[in-house]
Structure 1
Amino acid sequence: MWSCGGRRRRRLLGGLFLVVLAIVVLGRFNWSGLIPMRLRGRVLGLEAYDSQFLLEGNSFRIFGGSVHYFRVPREYWKDRLIKMKACGLNTLTTYVPWNLHEPVRGTFDFSGNLDLKAFIRTAEKVGLWVILRPGPYICSEWDLGGLPSWLLQDPEMQLRTTYKGFTEAVDAYFDHLMREVVHLQYKNGGPIIALQVENEYGSYAEDPGYMKYIKKALLKRRIIELLMTSDNKDGLASGFVPGALATVNFQKMDPGVLLYLDTMQDNMPKMVMEYWTGWFDSWGGPHNVFDADEMVRNVEKVIKAGASINLYMFHGGTNFGFMNGALHFDQYKATITSYDYDAVLTESGDYTSKFFKLRELFTGIADVPHPLPPIISNKASYGAILMQQYISLWEVLPSLVEPMKSEHPINMENLPVNNGNGQGYGYTLYETVIPGGGQLDSHNHVRDRAQVFVNTLHIGYLDYTEQHLQIPNGQGYRELRLLVENRGRVNYGRNLNNQRKGLIGNIFLNKTSLRNFKIYSLEMKPSFIESLRGASPWSAVPDSAMGPAFFRGTLEVQHMPQDTFLKLEGWEKGVVFVNGQNLGRYWKIGPQGTLYLPATWLQQGHNEIIIFEERAAGRIIQSTDLPFLGRSQYVG
């Protein structure tokens, strides 16, 4: 009897041991996706609880800063993030640009400068948490707010809604994007503590079911961290979605804004997702700056109010290539190439007075590393660069681009190029034959600016304001040519669905619509520049060279390359390529007077510079160690 009871006790104790062991083992798993826990204690993540953030149960304040990997050469990511940490910040925020990651429908790119995983891991190594803002729409003064242009091939497309054509594309994109980041979430051992549901939807608000759809799209792809929304005060109510923490965007601290947040979500932590440290610039306008002392006073007010804060931007970077966005309310305004933004770090990553004032503010209330990372003088002036060779667009065109033929004009996005995905960026040339002169009317179908030629003679421009042009009379049939530039699609407002570029409808000569076009796609991708290198005949630059033409010269670098800035005084408007890299647009109307050239795109020895000049060319460009972003105007 006693031995039988002992056996029962041993079996009972053994069973209890197995139960405890099972609980211990099973407790080490994250049941959301059955992903083994990499780090002990990563169970709760970032929580919004009782008017404060908790990170793994401990009180936590977000001191964040925005840096966009796609605006910064990969080789400089670590430098910018180390400087963020040195300022006293603990969290990186970044957008994800769909139009770069899926440039062609169904083809995805997360390599090189688009290696999002590597960027997030770099932040982790530096000691920063990450808030990811995956879109699909990001605004960000980026072409079409980050949405790919091929979406506009659908004439019925309704962007940022639950329209089937849009949601199917978003689902396919999210399927790939979330695979890149799901394992980088906090509870899976990574640095991502929160994700944003879309971006500033309250200023758009075209579909009441849209935000719920985006939230569900994230959750079903194993997103398990805290969700947030982000809007300015006027958009908060329309951009809110249940189950996500609402955050607010502004530049001037109005206590009423944070009180308004409380009315929407009682007893929740307050966060300023975008505290605007400066502002962006548009072509033809001033260079906007925001006073450093006023900025710091506003940041201090936010902190004293108990709110978390994210500095937009901590470091702006550059709209390299043709990726700048635009605004179009009363008039169309394209964003410049520089995204310096008057931010805490300059476009080339240098410290500013804002940095040192913020570092002083954060000392004592945040983890500020000591000492400061060394200030490295890494800018060079390489002097004057002579443009030695020249080739006219009209000369080189037949050997580089095969024209398409169409009875009617075709907008850029619907051209049969890029495996049926249309043309996204750059220029499109439309040619047709006319029998005589008279009045040319665009009927507002030019997007965004067209140089008009009869044969090779430049006769004027058509754009949003100039919609009529007199064509001189001439003998016989002549070629009418319209070289149309996409200057950047709108990135903000309710005009997103009307962003098709090129000629978007008929144009008329003497009230008769023109027909039978030859259309050339001039997207100026790296393959185009490579073909241009071998084109002939390049010739010596004439004394009075006129565009549209390509100009070529050499920048000699004797020692280790350093960052520099290219100044195009005497040139009118165009694009600069260095060793095949598109630095972006220049335009004499300013405000921007220099283009940033990172050292990482240079090599010791010969560096090829190719300039596409639309109209009036100079003979030299200057390499200088100082940027010039234009006449300053204070905002706010």
Structure 2
Amino acid sequence: MERVDGLKDTTCQFTLDGKPFRILGGSIHYFRVPREYWHDRLLKMKACGINTLTTYVPWNLHEPEKGAYHFEGQLDLRAYVSLAAEVGLWVILRPGPYICAEWDLGGLPSWLLRDKNMQLRTSYPGFMEAVNLYFDKLVTVIKPLLYKEGGPVIALQIENEYGSYAKDKNYMKLIKICFQSRGISELLMTSDNWEGLRCGGTEGVLRTINLQRLSFGAIQHLADMQPQKPVMVMEYWCGWFDVWGEHHHVFHYEDMINVVSEILKRGISINLYMFHGGTNFGFMNGAMDLGNYKPQVTSYDYDAPLSESGDCTEKYYALRNLFSRYHYEPLPEVPISQQRREYSPVIVEQHLSLWDILHLTESCRSELPVNMENLPVNNNNGQSYGYTLYETSITYGGSLQSKNNIRDRALVFDNRQFVGMLDPRNHEVALLDGEGERLLSLLVENCGRVNYGKALDEQRKGIVGDIFLNQIPLRGFTIFSLEMRLDFINKLLISDRWKSGTNCTSMPGFFRARLYVDGPPRDTFIKLPGWAKGAVFVNSHNLGRHWSIGPQHCLYLPGLWLNSGENQVIVFEEQKTDGVIVFAENPEYGKTTDVYKLPFCSLL
């Protein structure tokens, strides 16, 4: 039977089924949590006193190649939302198309960038055509989940923090039409920080605010903008994300609970971002660039109430105590956290140089360097993530200059011997003179596309312009796509070129070890104290990037990705290894800094 009285914004309060309703929300992203753990995390959310789940929907995962849609397995959005309903949670969907989320390109698919004239998050026809085709598919998935169809979805957010971008005054209206023209009539919302409220909304859509510090000026500003409407903090940042090379951000629970208590006292609805952060598995982390490019780490622990591995923290119990006062019935019991295990260290048994596996990759020839997204690979959708190797011949040495055309970081090899690095801070490498023709190789890593700010428009990766040797542009490239997807790792596993031992004299390389698990597999953390930088694969699952500069010094390994008995561990390493892989029961996120004591601008 169709329901018609869903979430509404009446005089200064929400109503649901005609009764006053306070949103006590929390964010958990299904794409950052292994599907087998969804139920555990949602049960813990319910037991904390949360009544509404919020989740983003990442376009780049659901349409990784143009016209190829994936809503199954780990990406089964309908199953995730239905599970939330079974647990007793309402749902607010945040399907974008742009989501930010500290996620590569803010959730936008990289194949959009194949259009050299692309204008993201605008009414540019090439962008809106792609959005409309995606929404044609997405709405067929989510429509049965809507409240008026008998489902748990009581509201949807259109776009995300557009006021901080605000390049096109017509754009938000067009995105609203994308929802409404496809029959979605649930309550629509936008969300922005204080500065973005003025430019981020559109007529007929409820504005909400994002914040961490309590600013009644900001909240009053929101209330004044839309009189007689309920006030909601769509993102109350109860932690913060980390970037490589800086400290791990923490937000002490006493400071957090004081702010949340005051918000609730004033009758305001709230959504905790993040309630459980999870992990940026693979190469999916985003980056910040507000003048300086800063890639984000693999972990998305966020110092959230539920830790990266699903443990209930002090924040969790403080919030549970607070939220219990806003429920008439006792809260459910808190589920017991899953056990973790510190496995014994394992020794690398085999190695394989990068140079020995190039035949397993897609490659092409080009006179000019081609950026990652425009490579003729992946059914002409380009390369999205990982590494790209550019090779050309030279006959002399001198000054190799990137002119800032490397995105984001390149290891430079002369006849496959490492000679230096090009990155956003270092644009020059000296090459020695030598006789005869030599092979110059540049292994370029996409460290993560920017997910927030104006730099979103400049996120093509690989080599994006000419590279010069003594002021002469290099020509005649062979380009190898090293996205390190599942099919590549599986080919790697059965390669007959593996060599015994750890002494890989020609780095970078792949290093292989076996972990034997006796009994039921448990969650654990991988640590690589004697290694430099690369990525880790366990039973072909890409756990993410490791980098000795920290702050993160561990990678979360869900036990469900392990087998009882033998497990294959492969580490891709760029520069050095001591041949030992260590396991730990608890994570190590590095030195900490208190986010609440930092100026907000320093976070951005």
Compute the TM-score of the two structures, normalised by the length of structure 1.
0.93
Partner of 1:581: 541
Partner of 1:175: 136
Counterpart code for 1:215: K
Distance in 2 separating the partners of 1:117 and 1:486: 31
SS in 1 for 2:345: strand
Partner of 1:230: 191
Larger radius of gyration: 1
Distance in 1 separating the partners of 2:445 and 2:120: 23
Deviation at 1:497, TM superposition (A): 1.6
Partner of 1:275: 236
Given the alignment, which residue of 570, 573, 577 partners 1:610?
570
Given the alignment of the two structures, is residue 72 of structure 1 paired with residue 72 of structure 2, yes or no? no
SS in 2 for 1:134: strand
Partner of 1:28: none
Partner of 2:388: 428
What does residue range 43-442 of structure 1 map to in structure 2 within 5 Å? Answer: 43-366=4-327, 369-397=330-358, 399-442=359-402
- Alpha carbons 2:193, 2:209 under 8 Å: kept: yes
Deviation at 1:542, TM superposition (A): 3.9
Q: 1:546 to 1:279 in 2, by over 3 A?
A: farther
- Alpha carbons 2:276, 2:310 under 8 Å: kept: yes
SS in 1 for 2:140: helix
Given the alignment, which residue of 497, 519, 523 partners 1:563?
523
Counterpart code for 1:387: V
Q: 1:544 to 1:521 in 2, by over 3 A?
A: closer
Deviation at 1:475, TM superposition (A): 1.3
Counterpart code for 1:552: R
Given the alignment, which residue of 489, 494, 505 partners 1:534?
494
Distance in 1 separating the partners of 2:98 and 2:325: 37
Deviation at 1:235, TM superposition (A): 0.2
Counterpart code for 1:138: I
- Alpha carbons 1:88, 1:367 under 8 Å: kept: no
**Residues 572-605 of structure 1, C-alpha deviations (whole Å, 9 max, x = no match):** 0000000000000000000000000001111111
The number of residue pairs the alignment matches comes to 596
Counterpart code for 1:51: C
Deviation at 1:386, TM superposition (A): 1.0
Distance in 1 separating the partners of 2:200 and 2:537: 40
Partner of 2:595: 635
**Residues 101-143 of structure 1, C-alpha deviations (whole Å, 9 max, x = no match):** 0000000000100000000000000000000000000000000
**Residues 363-387 of structure 1, C-alpha deviations (whole Å, 9 max, x = no match):** 1212565452242351011110111
- Alpha carbons 1:546, 1:615 under 8 Å: kept: no
SS in 1 for 2:275: strand
Give unpaired runs (5+ residues) of structure 1: 1-36
SS in 1 for 2:452: coil
**Residues 45-98 of structure 1, C-alpha deviations (whole Å, 9 max, x = no match):** 100000000101101100000000000000000100100000001000000000
Partner of 1:26: none
Deviation at 1:621, TM superposition (A): 0.8
Q: 1:466 to 1:255 in 2, by over 3 A?
A: same
Q: 1:402 to 1:490 in 2, by over 3 A?
A: closer
Q: 1:551 to 1:466 in 2, by over 3 A?
A: same
- Alpha carbons 2:191, 2:207 under 8 Å: kept: yes
Deviation at 1:618, TM superposition (A): 2.1
- Alpha carbons 2:509, 2:572 under 8 Å: kept: yes
527-536 or 347-356, which moves further after superposition? Answer: 527-536
Partner of 1:453: 413
Counterpart code for 1:65: G
What does residue range 475-486 of structure 1 map to in structure 2 within 5 Å? Answer: 475-486=435-446
Distance in 2 separating the partners of 1:563 and 1:226: 39
Given the alignment of the two structures, is residue 511 of structure 1 paired with residue 471 of structure 2, yes or no? yes
- Alpha carbons 1:565, 1:594 under 8 Å: kept: yes
Partner of 1:8: none
SS in 1 for 2:264: helix
Counterpart code for 1:614: E
> Taking every aligned residue pair, what percent have the same amino acid on both sides?
56
Counterpart code for 2:216: P
Distance in 2 separating the partners of 1:530 and 1:368: 51
Deviation at 1:396, TM superposition (A): 2.1
- Alpha carbons 2:385, 2:446 under 8 Å: kept: yes
Given the alignment of the two structures, is residue 553 of structure 1 paired with residue 506 of structure 2, yes or no? no
Distance in 2 separating the partners of 1:223 and 1:332: 38
Distance in 2 separating the partners of 1:274 and 1:572: 35
Distance in 2 separating the partners of 1:419 and 1:447: 23
**Residues 460-489 of structure 1, C-alpha deviations (whole Å, 9 max, x = no match):** 100111001100111111000000000000
SS in 2 for 1:383: coil
Distance in 2 separating the partners of 1:134 and 1:368: 32
Distance in 2 separating the partners of 1:491 and 1:163: 19
Counterpart code for 1:436: Y
Deviation at 1:533, TM superposition (A): 1.1
Partner of 1:592: 552
